[in-house]
Amino acid sequence: MPTCRFCSSVYPRNQFIHGNGPKAQVCVRCGLEKGMVTEDEVPSFYSRELSNSRFSIIARYWSPVLWLMAVWGAWAVLLLPVKPWGIYTLVLLALATLGLPVYMFLNRVKYLANIARLTPAYQTPPGH
């Protein structure tokens, strides 16, 4: 993958502006910031709203994993020594841990569809 000569970031080829000379090896963000292209010329640019929407979808999909780890931690610290409730909540946590992969598998198609919906369309320029 190429490297931007301004910000030194490595991106896929579709995240670079098209052109020779000063426009060579410049990512879309640096191209916009330096005024080399307008936002209409770079459809693969991830705007602030688009990246926030994508982050929201990613966070919504992965948040049950973080919640489950936090609850496991709280269980180990708070409920492990408590005699009857430690075992009851252990069973509930084990069920939730076993059910989480199934839940994520069932939601995976919806997640991928939302990510694909929020991925900017990119057409390879002619000659490439």
Q: Which residues bind Zn ion (CB under 5 A)?
A: 4, 6-7, 27, 30
Q: What share of the chain is helix, strand, coil (3-state, %, to 5)?
A: 60, 5, 35
Q: In terms of CB distance, is 34 or 117 closer to Zn ion?
A: 34
Q: In terms of CB distance, is 44 or 57 closer to Zn ion?
A: 44
Q: In terms of CB distance, is 27 or 37 closer to Zn ion?
A: 27
| Residue 35 to residue 30: CA distance in whole angstroms | 8
**∠ at Cα 98 (97, 104), nearest 5°?**
85
Q: In terms of CB distance, is 7 or 70 closer to Zn ion?
A: 7
| Min CB(70)–Zn ion separation in Å | 36
β-strand partners of 10: 3
Cα distances from 24 to residues 6, 20, 21, 34, 39, in angstroms, run 11, 5, 6, 13, 17
